[in-house]
Amino acid sequence: MKIYSYNVNGIRAAMRKGLSDWLQASNADVLLIQETKAQADQIEEQVFSDMGYHTYWHSAEKKGYSGVGILCKQEPDHVEIGCGIDYIDFEGRIIRADFGDLSIMSVYIPSGSSGDARQDVKMTFLNDFQNYIQELLKERPKLIIGGDFNICHTEIDIHNPKSNKNTSGFLPEEREWLSGFLKLGFTDSFRLYHEGEADHYSWWSYRANARNNNKGWRIDYNMASEALREQLEDAKIWPDAKHSDHCPISLDIS
């Protein structure tokens, strides 16, 4: 099974830039989408169904904001919309599909870059999300969480760690949270196959020609729970896909 995660930064804009052609070529079994910035009735679902995908969306209450989705070739046994925490579900940040004993979640963790108030929301989200996942693992131990975490974990995950040490997305408390999250029993699948390798990023600012100069951040992850460790086969980042300020990341499992 090939699982992709992609923050599309507006699915309608990404479609105009050739997202559907990329998806056709990728042959993804599952595509986890973040930041749809659309209500379900604003998305060209027929394009995806013509390619053989079942589509599921969790949009924010606020139009043109946030939103996550799952596209999958196999119909899930169950789809869980949201997590039951009102302020999180109001922003459309979590959706999960279950296939037998395997669960695959798309998550879009808030950014704190717009100011202190949103940074506080982000830190509250991180705590509540971790508690939610701890409980979910008891019921669904085979769990993949793919999405935009809005956190670089280590210095090799960001192009300039020294100048960004006080920047949201690379704050010590955020990085510490991510370390703790991995200790719940998750593998950062990309690092499993690319340990110690620098200059691999999944997001670039639109400013200062950052993408062409590869001055980016690795903030998108496919996390796999310990119960799936033996089934992991490969993980990659696809920087040549340019439908967004992010690029897709993939995880192959047996």
Residues acting as catalytic residues: 108, 148
Cα–Cα distances (Å) from 124 to 87, 118, 119, 120, 203, in that order, read 10, 10, 9, 6, 23
Paired sense of beta strands 68-72 and 78-81, if any: unpaired
Q: Look up residue 82 and give its amino acid.
A: G
DSSP H or E stretch at residue 37: none
Question: Which residue carries 């980042």 as its tokens?
Answer: 237
What phi, psi does 242 have (nearest 5°)?
-125, 65
Structure tokens given for 130: 């971790």
Question: Which residue carries 């085979």 as its tokens?
Answer: 142
DSSP bridge pairs for 251 = 3, 235
Q: Look up residue 106 and give its amino acid.
A: S
Report the alpha-carbon distance of residue 179 to residue 153 in Å, rounded. Answer: 8
DSSP bridge pairs for 57 = 69
Find the farthest-apart pair of alpha carbons in the chain and give their distance in angstroms, rounded. 47
* DSSP letters for 71-101: EESSPPSEEEES-S-HHHHHTT-EEEEEETT
Structure tokens given for 33: 């989408």
